[in-house]
């Protein structure tokens, strides 16, 4: 059965009625996003906290930023937590997955909606679109965004279609290992929503493997039918250079391999060697890539409702 694809564009009052007493948390992970995090936070705040009270908590997880991300996010109306300051007793780790995992420890939502902080084209309907299936259909556990993804050049002009790691790594891996999930158009979308009761039971890659891991773990635990996707229109974001997409690809590959029964015993670091032409020919630029995973939040001592 193909992955369920749902339309966005919901009536706000109907969603509010469907929400009832479900607590909804929006989490924005951000590392050095002072240029864009303010618009993301203030847009969500105006639409879904002030005008329609669909969102109960709006939280930015500041992921080791060295710029003014935290101050900008707080001024825009978010509750800001520095990821490194959340449960420091659990040891240090860095990365996007770490920020999302730490968010479980400082929020109370029954449903968590994740929205990237680097968006330059987006719509507040992303939040309601992702929430709707979870508020209205108890069989849905995780919802991914689907959208057109332009690849913008340095001047902001549309060059071609984006999502290079998605198209060259993530979707091919699904085709090989989980063809029942191959209908997911944007398996790496940074905009997704999940039930806490599900996400808190998964081990979470600290880096960019977090999205593909959550999809695979949800399908393994509850069946592919528990994963849905919603068409949200169009989204544009800041692009990485190819040399930082390489480590991202390694993290996505590792998260998948661990979940299809390979590489379970792999060390938590890999070295990706990239090459640049220098004065003496091609010079090696080795990069350490962090493949570590956090254990299920529910298993960490002190987690509310978890082991103590
Ligand atoms: O250590 C980090 C790195 C990134 N981020 C934030 O995470 C979001 C997405 O990061 P980004 O570097 O912009 O990733 P993308 O190039 O957009 O990668 C896509 O693919 C990744 C791999 O699946 C997903 O994690 C991303 O959400 C998705 O947008 C942004 O708000 C970042 O500020 C952190 O919080 N901590
Ligand atoms: O999701 C992806 O595949 C990566 O973030 C790369 O996206 P981009 O090619 O649009 O920069």
* CATH code of 231's domain: 3.90.550.10
Give the integer Cα–Cα distance in Å for 7 and 145.
Answer: 10
pLDDT average, residue stretch 251-266: 87
Atom 29 (ligand 1): residue with closest C-alpha? 190
pLDDT average, residue stretch 95-108: 98
pLDDT for the residue 39? 98
Q: Among 145, 153, 154, 163, say which to mutate for ligand 2: greatest number of ligand atoms within 8 Å of CB.
A: 163
Q: Which atom of ligand 2 is nearest to the CA of 190?
A: 1
pLDDT above 80: residue 54: yes
**Across the chain, what does the average pLDDT equal?**
94
**Ligand nearest 83 Cα, by number?**
1
pLDDT average, residue stretch 95-115: 98
Give the integer Cα–Cα distance in Å for 109 and 107.
Answer: 6
Q: Taking a C-beta distance cutoff of 8 angstroms, is the pair 153, 161 a contact? A: no
Going from the Cα of 164 to the center of ligand 2, the distance in angstroms, rounded, reads 5
Alpha helices in 37-95 (DSSP H): 37-45, 69-75
Is 236 among the domain residues?
A: yes
Is 265 among the domain residues?
A: yes
Atom 11 (ligand 2): residue with closest C-alpha? 239
pLDDT for the residue 162? 74
pLDDT average, residue stretch 252-269: 87
Is 307 among the domain residues?
A: no
pLDDT above 70: residue 1: no
Helix axes 12-19, 125-136, angle to 10 degrees: 40
Q: How confident is the model at residue 308 (pLDDT cuts 50, 70, 90)?
A: very low
Report residue 157 as tokens: 């002009």
Give the integer Cα–Cα distance in Å for 87 and 69.
Answer: 21
Name the phi and psi angles at 84, rounded to 5: -65, -20
pTM equals 0.96
Q: Taking a C-beta distance cutoff of 8 angstroms, is the pair 19, 135 a contact? A: yes
Distance from the Cα of residue 288 to its chain's centroid = 22
Radius of gyration from C-alpha coordinates of the chain? 19
Is 234 among the domain residues?
A: yes
Is 221 among the domain residues?
A: yes
Give the integer Cα–Cα distance in Å for 285 and 209.
Answer: 22
Give the integer Cα–Cα distance in Å for 57 and 112.
Answer: 10
Is 305 among the domain residues?
A: no
Report the candidate in 10, 239, 29, 23 with the shortest Cα–Cα distance to residue 114: 29
Work out how many domains the chain is built from and give that number.
1
Q: Which atom of ligand 1 is nearest to the CA of 62?
A: 35
Report residue 164 as tokens: 């290079």
Q: Taking a C-beta distance cutoff of 8 angstroms, is the pair 76, 43 a contact? A: no
Q: How confident is the model at residue 305 (pLDDT cuts 50, 70, 90)?
A: low
Residue range(s) defining the domain that contains residue 242: 4-299
pLDDT average, residue stretch 272-277: 95
Is 94 among the domain residues?
A: yes
Is 106 among the domain residues?
A: yes
Question: Could you tell me which residues are beta bridge partners of residue 25?
Answer: 57, 112
Q: Which atom of ligand 1 is nearest to the CA of 117?
A: 31
């Amino acid at each position: 059965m193909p992955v369920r694809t749902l339309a966005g564009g919901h009536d706000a009052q109907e969603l509010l009625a469907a929400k009832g007493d479900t607590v909804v948390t929006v989490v924005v992970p951000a590392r050095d996003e002072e240029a864009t995090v303010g618009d993301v936070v203030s847009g969500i705040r105006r639409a879904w906290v002030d005008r329609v009270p669909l969102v109960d908590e709006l939280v930015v997880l500041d992921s080791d930023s060295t710029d003014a991300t935290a101050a900008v996010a707080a001024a825009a109306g978010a509750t800001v937590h520095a990821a490194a300051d959340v449960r420091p007793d659990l040891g240090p780790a860095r990365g996007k997955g770490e920020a999302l995992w730490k968010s479980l420890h400082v929020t109370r939502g029954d449903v968590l909606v994740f929205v990237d902080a680097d968006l330059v084209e987006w719509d507040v309907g992303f939040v309601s679109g992702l929430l709707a299936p979870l508020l209205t259909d108890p069989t849905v556990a995780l919802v991914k965004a689907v959208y057109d993804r332009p690849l913008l050049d340095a001047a902001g002009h549309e060059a071609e279609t984006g999502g290079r790691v998605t198209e060259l790594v993530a979707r091919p891996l699904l085709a090989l290992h989980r063809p029942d999930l191959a209908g997911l158009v944007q398996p790496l979308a940074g905009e997704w929503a999940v039930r806490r009761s599900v996400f808190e039971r998964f081990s979470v890659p600290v880096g960019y493997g977090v999205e593909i891991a959550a999809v695979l773990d949800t399908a393994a635990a509850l069946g592919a039918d528990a994963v849905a996707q919603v068409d949200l229109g169009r989204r544009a974001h800041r692009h990485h250079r190819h040399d930082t997409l390489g480590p991202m690809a390694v993290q996505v590959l590792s998260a998948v391999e661990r979940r299809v029964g390979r590489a379970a015993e792999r060390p938590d670091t890999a070295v990706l060697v990239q090459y640049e032409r220098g004065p003496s020919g091609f010079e090696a630029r080795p990069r350490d890539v962090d493949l570590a995973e956090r254990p299920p939040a529910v298993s960490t001592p002190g987690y509310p409702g978890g082991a103590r």
